[in-house]
Chains A and B, each alone.
Chain A
């Protein structure tokens, strides 16, 4: 890896590192609040990237003054600034939605661990109608880390837990 090139593009490199950290936090952390923080990291990293690619050294912010009319070569690229504006609003909206989901999930399940919540939600559906659904080991395994890249094993374990739940064939009511 060309370290000099990385040092020249410091801002972009920092943005990429933050993006990677945010992405893995969002995907692999089990705590819901940490997932939201990871998402925030990820999006901020993209905005940092976008802002740094609009910069041109030695030039000013793209606001003309009424008095003098500066030429185009006096300003940085204005388009990334507009894109970052849009992106920030989108990021805020998504954060608000995810946080409200977190609040409701906590009220309902009293835990912030997403794997536990998914497990409890599945057991909930089975138990709520009074039918016996033995919580097998496969289902527990399927609950942990079902969102991460270990999709094949998660998929197989999920199928096994579906079979476990399907055996007594509960009558699910609409909740």
Chain B
């Protein structure tokens, strides 16, 4: 038994340790041989135990998944029929959105009425969810250029080489995608689209530009300050304008924003400006995610 342990010990000392296990290195440097022998013995027994455990674990995991699925399917058999006309969900709530949506909200896109007029508080919360995630990702991924290390590497990823195909394609497509995004945002109340989808498309254009031309040129336009200012302005505008809307609504006061004539570009009260604000927030934050993940800075 002792010979086996000594042999294991010698073998473990000879094997090259992987780079990240500096904890193993710390163990090696300790002069307490008892701990090292314990480690070697434990690791041998451990491997076997781990193998058995893994098999049992996989079987149990599959059983757990099957159990949850069967339990939920058991209740799905009880639900109203798919696509049925007399479903409970099709009640007076949905009917008013469909019948009076255009008259009360002003937008032809009935879903835009719901999310930016009837249930605008939810959308305010949703924009702030995105903002919270952006703050968290900033905290985690943003690298600060430390004043005491002037020669610190400025970027994690090098900029891509000047690929002619990519650059030509981006030069052709980015403006088009940009236009599509702006169109979706601005006519979100007249047809399918809106702030969220338009903002995502806009950010796609910016990301494509950055991928093709590198962070240097993109960074001249969209610095951290510009990003921060744009996000702040959009969120503040949403909060303040909706505060006015909620306040006037709750207190029974008339609002200066009226639905207008449905179908024209300048109609639907606050919905187009809110679409723009939401689009700006989504665009900035999605682009910010990309920049932070790629380089750790904007």
Q: CB within 8 Å of B: which residues of A?
A: 1-2, 5-6, 8-13, 16-17, 19-21, 23-24, 28, 52-57, 61-66, 69, 71-72, 75, 77-82, 85-86, 88-90, 92-94, 96-97, 99-101, 103-104, 109-111, 120, 123-124, 127, 132, 134-135, 137, 140, 144-145, 148-149
* Chain B 56-93 interface mask (CB, 8 Å, partner A; 1/0): 01000100111011001110111111111101011001
Q: Please indicate the chain B residues that have their CB under 8 angstroms from the CB of A100 in the complex.
A: 136-137, 140-141, 292-293
Shortest Cβ distance from residue B139 to the other chain A in the assembled complex, whole angstroms: 9
How many B residues touch A, CB cutoff 8 Å? 75
In contact, A56 and B73 (Cβ under 8 angstroms): no
Expressed in whole angstroms, the Cα–Cα distance for A110 and B23 within the complex equals 13
Kindly report which residue of chain A lies nearest to residue B194, judged by CB atoms: A85
- Between A6, A28, A79, A101, the greatest number of chain B beta carbons within 10 A of the residue's beta carbon is seen for A79
Judged by a CB distance under 8 angstroms, whether B237 is at the interface is no
Residues of A contacting B: mostly: helix
User: Which chain B positions have C-beta within 8 A of A24?
Assistant: 61, 64-65, 68
Chain A's nearest CB lies how many Å from the CB of B277?
A: 14
Contact B136–A20 (Cβ < 8 Å): no
Q: Is the CB of B64 within 8 A of A28?
A: yes
Alpha-carbon separation in the docked complex, A52 to B122 (Å): 21
Q: What A residues does B72 contact at CB under 8 A?
A: 16, 19-20
Pairs A-B, 6 closest by C-beta atoms: A66-B263, A93-B133, A20-B69, A72-B98, A110-B20, A24-B65
**Given A19-B72, A64-B102, residue A123 in contact with residue B129 (CB < 8 A):** no
Say how far A94's CB is from chain B's closest CB, in angstroms. 7
A56-B61 in contact (CB<8A): no
A124 and B134 alpha carbons, distance in the complex (Å): 29
B70 to chain A, nearest CB (A): 8
Known: A16-B69, A66-B108, A82-B115. A89 touches B23 (CB 8 A): no
Contact of B191 with A55 in the complex, beta carbons under 8 Å = no
Q: Which residues of A contact B146 (CB under 8 A)?
A: none
* B30 at the binding interface (Cβ < 8 Å): yes
Could you pull out 28 A-B pairs where Cβ atoms are within 8 angstroms? Answer: A6-B73, A12-B82, A13-B76, A17-B69, A28-B57, A53-B80, A61-B192, A62-B98, A63-B108, A63-B111, A72-B99, A75-B98, A78-B94, A82-B122, A89-B126, A89-B129, A89-B130, A90-B129, A96-B289, A103-B140, A103-B293, A104-B141, A110-B20, A111-B20, A132-B30, A135-B39, A144-B53, A148-B61
| B224 to A: closest C-beta gap in Å | 17
Known: A79-B114, A85-B196, A96-B133. A20 touches B140 (CB 8 A): no
| A124–B122 CB distance below 8 A | no
Residues on A with beta carbons closer than 8 Å to the beta carbon of B141: 100, 103-104
A78 with B98: CB separation less than 8 A: yes
Chain A's closest residue to B292 (CB) is A100
Chain B residues in 8 Å Cβ range of A65: 108
Partner of A78, one of B26, B46, B82, B114: B114
Give A142 to B141 CA distance when docked, in angstroms: 30
Across the interface, which residues of B come within 8 angstroms of A19, CB to CB?
Answer: 69, 72
CA distance A92 to B42 in the complex (A): 43
Decide yes or no whether B32 CB sits under 8 A from chain A: yes
Q: How far is the CB of B268 from chain A (nearest CB, A)?
A: 12
In the complex, are the beta carbons of A77 and B94 less than 8 A apart? Answer: yes
Q: Which residues of B contact A16 (CB under 8 A)?
A: 69, 72-73, 76
Q: Which of B19, B23, B122 contacts A86 (CB 8 A)?
A: B122
Q: Name B23's contact: one of A54, A56, A123 (CB within 8 Å).
A: A123
Q: In the complex, are the beta carbons of B137 and A97 less than 8 A apart?
A: yes
Cβ-defined contact, A127 with B23, below 8 A = yes
